Amino acid sequence: MGDSACASATLAPPSIGGGSLLIAWQLKDKNVLIVGGGEVASQRIESILTTDSRITLLAPAKGLHARTKELIDMHPARITYYDRRFSGPAEIHKMDMVLTALDDVNRSREICEMCRTNKVPVNAADIPDLCDFYFGAQIRDGPLQIMISTNGNGPRMAALMKQKINSALSGNEGQAIERVGVLRGQLKERASGVGGALGRKRMKWMSEVCNVWGIDELVQLDDALITKLLDDGWDKGCVPTLDQLKGRQTRKPARQTAPSPDSSQWLLAAASFALGAVCATLALVSRRR
């Protein structure tokens, strides 16, 4: 899913402006048309499969990429495949989004113009000036989605940024967010009502829970603990820690524990200790002589 697929040659100034609007587009129960069956098309299909939309794929079977074939076979309920080319404006009438991934730039351009006339959002692979939107490098962990865009300044840099961000994540974030979502849902049931003072109180309490509990603790919020947290926390107007909830004595606040030294630090300490001991011994022995 390269950033370059629809890359702009102009550079963004570091100040305000010059950027894209990064948004989370909703495609639940919508219709997406993908024209083309090559490698880029397979990447487009994978992007769209992230959402709960219906995909219509138009591409002659002889030109299908192996991955595209695989995806068609894997998701028969999601992808309706037609072994033929794009035939004309009627194809886009019921569509909520159109993606072209064709070698034929002129055909892509024609399809984009039809979409523009019909106000259907469109992305044409490799033809940035025709695109309503670009794709970017994506990270997904359950309900957590992260997108990295370099605004057309190279897919490799987007991939490097993705690596960097991935290595900063523990892998527990998605599950923690999912558990917070469940807690939030149950809090809304317990203290229902839209907006106003209650809405603000709910939001404040939820924020405090997220601040007091770490990611690795939020992951442990099973259904029983959620009920206990609402009983002992929300109902009593406080935010207990995980230890308090589990009935354990807390000796220190969960968020203020010092980081434990890693193995390289232990090695460093041991080596320095030994070096110190050897130096002192040598100094004393030499003085004794």
- What is the set of active-site residues? 126
- Which range touches a second copy (CB under 8 A), out of 60-68, 226-234, 249-257, 276-284? 276-284
Which residues within the stretch 243-272 sit at the binding site for a second copy (CB under 8 A)? Answer: 261, 265, 268-272
- Residue closer to a second copy, measured from CB, 142 or 193: 142
Please name the residues in contact with 52: beta carbons below 8 A apart, sequence gap of 6 or more: 27, 28, 29
Long-range Cβ contact pairs of 187-193 (< 8 A, separation 24 or more): 187/230, 187/234, 190/230, 190/234, 191/234
Based on the shown chain and the rule CB under 8 A, indicate whether residue 215 belongs to the binding site for a second copy: yes
Based on the shown chain and the rule CB under 8 A, indicate whether residue 221 belongs to the binding site for a second copy: no
Which residues within the stretch 193-212 sit at the binding site for a second copy (CB under 8 A)? Answer: 195, 203, 206-207, 210-211
Which residues within the stretch 71-130 sit at the binding site for a second copy (CB under 8 A)? Answer: 75, 78, 118-121, 123, 126
Please name the residues in contact with 61: beta carbons below 8 A apart, sequence gap of 6 or more: 37, 83
Q: How far is the CB of 154 from a second copy (least distance, A)?
A: 5
Interacting residue with a second copy among 94, 200, 248, 273 (CB under 8 A): 273
Yes or no: say if 138 and 7 are a contact pair by the CB < 8 Å rule.
Answer: no
Q: How far is the CB of 247 from a second copy (least distance, A)?
A: 26
Based on the shown chain and the rule CB under 8 A, indicate whether residue 241 belongs to the binding site for a second copy: no
Q: How many CA atoms lie within 13 A of 282 on its CB side?
A: 6
Which one, of 208, 143, 145, lies nearest residue 179 by Cα? 143
Yes or no: say if 123 and 148 are a contact pair by the CB < 8 Å rule.
Answer: no
